[in-house]
Amino acid sequence: MVAVDDDDSGHSIAIWPDGGYWMRGVRKGRIRLGVCLFACVLLAACERSPRMYERSLYVFGTLVSVSAWTSDEAAFDRAVDQIDRRFQSMHRDWHAWRGNGELVRLNQALAAGESMRVSDFLLPLLIQGKALYDASDGLFNPAIGRLIALWGFHDDEPSGGLPPDPGAIAKLVDAAPGMDDVSIEGHRIRATNPWIALDLGAYAKGHALNVAIRILHELGIDNAIVNAGGDLCVSGGHGGRPWHIGVRHPQGEGVIASLDARDGECVLTSGNYERYREYAGVRYAHIIDPRSGYPVAHIASATVIARNGALADAAATALSVAGAPLWQRIAGRMGVDEVMLVDGDGRVYLTPAMKRRIDLTPTGGARGK
Ligand code: ADP
Ligand code: MG
């Protein structure tokens, strides 16, 4: 661990496109495809050169932008349409509180003491959720849906007002729902603890980003970046250069750090700045420490790079909970070695592997905006 920045300004951090080339890239419809260099009398021989394309989708309550460096605009469009359909169905099926999707039905079944057969789509996520729960010593715990709901984070807009009754929090902590209480036999899911409510919010987006990159590959697009509100996965690069990613400063608009993302990597951040409730000047973030039942207060954000998006996402959440005393041990157990943490005082902690590849902006200023 190396503390490399102890300015006292910060509370949050996010991966943020820093005005690198891809953000200024060519927008579909705005700039027509390139110039045919050879005599266009032979129209069929007229080759398109690769360009930047970008389209935005609105899903998971955030803007998702898909950018690609390609000469095949039609394939890009087909890929984005497919990603849109997959993301919308994930959003519907894996929503923890709205509608009647698969996760809502599973939670109803578990609460009633019944088992349920789940689909091929949900099953791998639940299997991975159990493994990540174990590896994180339970700090990443997608079984604490009731606590998350109690704190009001199962509302579209978390309200202000008094925090929940401490007695109600203690009751849920004592009930100790965990993924080790969830048993998986084939596609059949059971819970031995009636207080279990599954919430995939801490890792489903990371999984979805990997799926998007896979869809792009399947349609021949091997140079792309999919960015869901600052969480992203990439493939290839653009014009022979890597995708350059800016990391938003915890406070304000600036960039605290930047890095080149490599082929197949995902960069995921959990932070206490995106979703929170506030009462009497205190901010209660949507990341809950399952040990206490209270929102994490000491860590402003955690950023993790890994090839598996769900792992990076879950680890970012777990390391936010772990905080300064535990984060290195938990990172080791989860198998992530490229990690950056920013604490509530704006101090930055880096693993050696992250330190080797990240470029910290000295003052956390507005570079790259
Ligand atoms: P973001 O969505 O901002 O990227 P996270 O990936 O950390 O942040 O996900 C936060 C969400 O995960 C919360 O809204 C909640 O649904 C869920 N969650 C909160 N605390 C935990 C936890 N300790 N373990 C697993 N899931 C959690
Ligand atoms: Mg997460």
What DSSP string describes 135-161?
HTTTSS-TTBHHHHHHTTTTSSS---S
Q: Exposed/middle/buried for 159, CB within 10 Å: 0-12, 13-18, 19+?
A: exposed
Q: Note the pLDDT of residue 73.
A: 97
Q: Note the pLDDT of residue 28.
A: 31
Q: Is the predicted pLDDT of residue 191 greater than 80, yes or no?
A: yes
More confident residue, 281 or 333: 333
| Digit-coded pLDDT (tens) for 218-258 | 999 999 999 998 899 999 999 999 999 987 776 666 778 89
| Digit-coded pLDDT (tens) for 121-177 | 999 999 999 999 999 999 999 999 999 999 999 887 777 788 999 999 999 999 999
| E strands, the chain, in order | 2-5, 14-16, 51-59, 62-70, 116-117, 182-185, 188-191, 224-228, 231-235, 243-248, 255-261, 266-271, 276-279, 282-285, 299-306, 338-343, 348-350, 359-360
Quote the crossing angle between the two packed helices 309-334 and 122-135, to the nearest 10°.
Answer: 20
Is the separation of the CB atoms in 330 and 3 below 8 Å? no
| Digit-coded pLDDT (tens) for 26-80 | 233 333 334 334 444 344 444 579 999 999 999 988 999 999 999 999 999 999 9
Candidate from 3-7, 100-104, 182-186, 234-238 with smallest mean pLDDT:
3-7
Cα of 350 to ligand 1 centre, how many Å?
22
Is the separation of the CB atoms in 272 and 301 below 8 Å? yes
Q: Note the pLDDT of residue 17.
A: 32
Cα of 81 to ligand 1 centre, how many Å?
28
Instruction: Assess whether the C-beta atom of 141 lies below 6 angstroms from ligand 1.
Output: yes
Mutate to test the pocket of ligand 1, among 287, 294, 326, 327 (most ligand atoms within 8 A of CB): 287
Q: Note the pLDDT of residue 206.
A: 98
The pairing of beta strand 255-261 with beta strand 243-248: antiparallel
Rounded to whole angstroms, the Cα distance separating 82 from 68 reads 15
| Digit-coded pLDDT (tens) for 19-29 | 232 222 223 33
Cα of 320 to ligand 2 centre, how many Å?
9
Rounded to whole angstroms, the Cα distance separating 338 from 247 reads 14
More confident residue, 268 or 300: 268
Please name the residue whose Cα sits nearest to atom 16 of ligand 1.
201
Q: Is the predicted pLDDT of residue 5 greater than 80, yes or no?
A: no
How much of the chain exceeds pLDDT 90, in percent? 69
State the amino acid at position 21 in one-letter form. Answer: Y
Atom of ligand 1 nearest to the CA of 269: 4
Q: How many CB atoms lie within 10 A of CB 105?
A: 14
| Digit-coded pLDDT (tens) for 357-367 | 999 986 544 33
Atom of ligand 1 nearest to the CA of 231: 4
Mutate to test the pocket of ligand 1, among 286, 294, 330, 342 (most ligand atoms within 8 A of CB): 286
Q: Is the predicted pLDDT of residue 276 greater than 90, yes or no?
A: no
Q: Note the pLDDT of residue 190.
A: 98
Domain boundaries, the chain: 2-11+50-71+224-368
Q: Is the predicted pLDDT of residue 12 greater than 80, yes or no?
A: no
Enumerate residues 6+ apart whose C-beta is below 8 A from 8.
Answer: 345, 346
Cα of 262 to ligand 1 centre, how many Å?
26
Is the separation of the CB atoms in 70 and 76 below 8 Å? yes
Among all bound ligands, the one having the nearest atom to the CA of 142 is 1
Instruction: Assess whether the C-beta atom of 313 lies below 6 angstroms from ligand 1.
Output: yes
Cα of 235 to ligand 1 centre, how many Å?
26
Q: How many CB atoms lie within 10 A of CB 324?
A: 14
Instruction: Assess whether the C-beta atom of 137 lies below 6 angstroms from ligand 1.
Output: no
Cα of 221 to ligand 1 centre, how many Å?
31
Architecture of the structural domain at 2-11+50-71+224-368: Roll (3.10)
User: Could you tell me how many residues make up the chain?
Assistant: 369
Q: If you average pLDDT over residues 182-187, what whole number do you get?
A: 98
Rounded to whole angstroms, the Cα distance separating 257 from 244 reads 11
Please compute, for residue 106, the number of CA atoms within 13 A of its CA located in the half-sphere on the CB side: 28
Q: Note the pLDDT of residue 298.
A: 87
Tell me the CA distances in angstroms from 355 to 1, 110, 259, 276, 361, one per residue in order. Answer: 9, 44, 10, 29, 13
Q: Note the pLDDT of residue 250.
A: 65
Q: How many CB atoms lie within 10 A of CB 238?
A: 23
Q: Is the predicted pLDDT of residue 265 greater than 70, yes or no?
A: yes
pTM > 0.75: yes or no: yes
Question: For residue 126, what are its two tokens?
Answer: 């639940």
